[in-house]
Structure 1
Amino acid sequence: MSTKIAAGQRLDTKSVFDRYHKGWEARDPGLIASLHSADTVFHIHDGSEPITGRQLLKAQCAGLFEQFKFSIEKIRLLCGDDFWTFEWLMVMELNDCKGVLFTAKVEMLDVVTLNHAREVLRKDVYMNGAQRTGAFTRAGIEAKPMSRPLT
């Protein structure tokens, strides 16, 4: 990565982020995948293996959206010429083991690298494991890896 960032490039990265974030907020796997490169790597660092390729990513996102109902609270976005980091909270409404509704919040961090075509080349997602385990345990959900290669 270059250390000097041209003003126009930073704004361009932000516009890619804005389109990408809309895909996640709309829970639209097609839009998300369309902003990734054909050879993209998507890795949720929760003990799971990386997903490689646009088609597998699209299927993985559809599965995540089906399995988990969550919203996103923005905390901080840092953009560079070919990357962004996005700190956010995954917010889920869950029922505890007694059926009582509670709001779970898990701190998340996305590290995203763009290629020269302004496509997402790689996305690494880091989560606060203690918060995730606590929320899932309280809800009686087994904390399995969120990202699994699909066959």
Structure 2
Amino acid sequence: MTATAQIERPLSVAALFDRYHVGWETKDPDLIASLHSDDTVFALHDGTEPVTGRERLREHCRQLFATFDFTQEMGRRLYGDDHWVFEWTMLLALTEPGGAPFVARVGMLDVVTLNDAGEVVRKDVYPNGREMHGAFVRAGIDR
């Protein structure tokens, strides 16, 4: 294989996951959006409307990172030819209405689909509804 052919070959799914995960770990909306297709769909399955399009996703991530302080605890990763599944735990820093800080643990599952160019065309995020609801109730957040 020539050097040119190596450069043109898309990243493996696992390598793309690693790069994508850096965007979430560093809370970099530009990096995250750059790895999505123009017509991407980002669906958080919590009753909110999906976000459609790269630019709307970039803005959604900016707002998300400005609103919530969270980190990720890595779980299983499963790779296919055009997708990955990622189990993780969100560690969400919140404050009770009386002012006491706490960290909520919310189980999450991501299902990410890629196109032939190696771009994310769809990301479905499934939170543990009971854990998320409990965290928001404890923090006095109405969602």
Taking structure 2 as the reference length, the TM-score comes to 0.90
AA aligned opposite 1:107: G
Count of residue pairs the alignment pairs up: 134
Quote the Cα distance in structure 2 between the aligned partners of 1:57 and 1:89: 22
Identity of aligned residues (%): 58
Quote the Cα distance in structure 2 between the aligned partners of 1:30 and 1:107: 25
- 3-state DSSP class of the match of 1:46? coil
Quote the Cα distance in structure 2 between the aligned partners of 1:85 and 1:142: 29
Structure 1: tracts of 5 or more residues without a match: 1-10, 144-151
- 3-state DSSP class of the match of 1:74? strand
Q: After superposition, what is the alpha-carbon deviation per residue over 1:99-123, rounded to whole angstroms, capped at 9, x for unaligned?
A: 2222100000000000000000100
Taking structure 1 as the reference length, the TM-score comes to 0.85
Give the match for residue 19 of structure 2.
19
Quote the Cα distance in structure 1 between the aligned partners of 2:50 and 2:88: 21
Equivalent residues in 2 for 1:1-150, closer than 5 Å: 12-143=12-143
Give the match for residue 147 of structure 1.
none
AA aligned opposite 1:81: D
Quote the Cα distance in structure 2 between the aligned partners of 1:26 and 1:82: 25
Quote the Cα distance in structure 2 between the aligned partners of 1:114 and 1:72: 22
Q: Which has the higher contact order (CA 8 A, sep 6+)?
A: 1
Give the match for residue 8 of structure 2.
none
1:93, distance to aligned residue in structure 2 (A)? 1.9
Quote the Cα distance in structure 2 between the aligned partners of 1:16 and 1:81: 12
